[in-house]
Amino acid sequence: MAKQKPKKWNDYLWIVSATYFTLGFFNIIFAWLGVVCFLIPLLMAIFGGGKGYCNNYCGRGQLFLQIGNTLGWSSKRVAPRWLSSKWFRNGFLVFFLFFFIQMIVLTVHVAKGLDSLHQTIHLLWTFDVPWHWAYPVAVDPWVAQFAFGLYGIMLTSLIVGVILTVVFRPRTWCVFCPMGNMTQMICKLKNQ
Ligand code: SF4
């Protein structure tokens, strides 16, 4: 039997990810911590860390492995090839950025008083789900709006990633994940 590698501290980052998603059910302001998940992979890629974030530090990727391998919820079927095709990865990145920019625009509108705070989570790019219970202490409306928006994006990626983990292999989401795609683009540009 193959000897198991001893676990390192960063093998447990899925707990951080699970905690992040749990906190969002109690106080939406914790969603701001998700900014770290956006910045660290890009900064690591820019400053020579390559795909180090995806390979070693992404709690969400690890969470898919926990669900698929440790809990055994994955069918382990091979995903269709088009999911990892260039056109799909880049098309999905554009789709993702469209919703990200929309979220920033709404935050700016709320900051300027042009729109009121939406205490909802925009799930699966379609549904506005009421989430007012997770806003126990009022903060600046734009601060809360950004948190609601970012959490919707993060939770959507988790839900889609978990569904793909169950239907196909764990980390199927990673083949077209916008963050993974952007870090890959940065690495390619740097290697040119
Ligand atoms: S591709 Fe996305 S979800 Fe997968 S490890 Fe990288 S950042 Fe995490």
120-157 tens-digit pLDDT: 999 999 999 999 999 999 999 999 999 999 999 999 99
Q: Which residues pair with 128 in a beta bridge?
A: 122
- Which residue has its alpha carbon closest to ligand 1 atom 6? 54
Q: Ligand 1: distance of its center to the CA of 116 in Å?
A: 33
pLDDT of residue 191: 85
Of 178, 182, 150, the residue nearest 21 (C-alpha): 150
pLDDT of residue 54: 96
Calculate mean pLDDT across residues 163-175: 98
For the chain, what is the mean pLDDT?
Answer: 96
Residue range 5-30, pLDDT digits in tens:
888 999 999 999 999 999 999 999 99
Give the binding-site residues of ligand 1, using a 6 Å CB cut-off: 41, 54, 58, 60-61, 173-174, 177, 179-180
**Residue ID of nearest Cα to ligand 1 atom 3:** 61
Average pLDDT value for residue range 73-86: 97
Over residues 84-90, mean pLDDT = 97
What spacing in Å lies between the alpha carbon of 160 and ligand 1's midpoint? 13
Q: Tell me: pLDDT of 88 over 60.
A: yes
In this model, does residue 2 exceed pLDDT 90? no
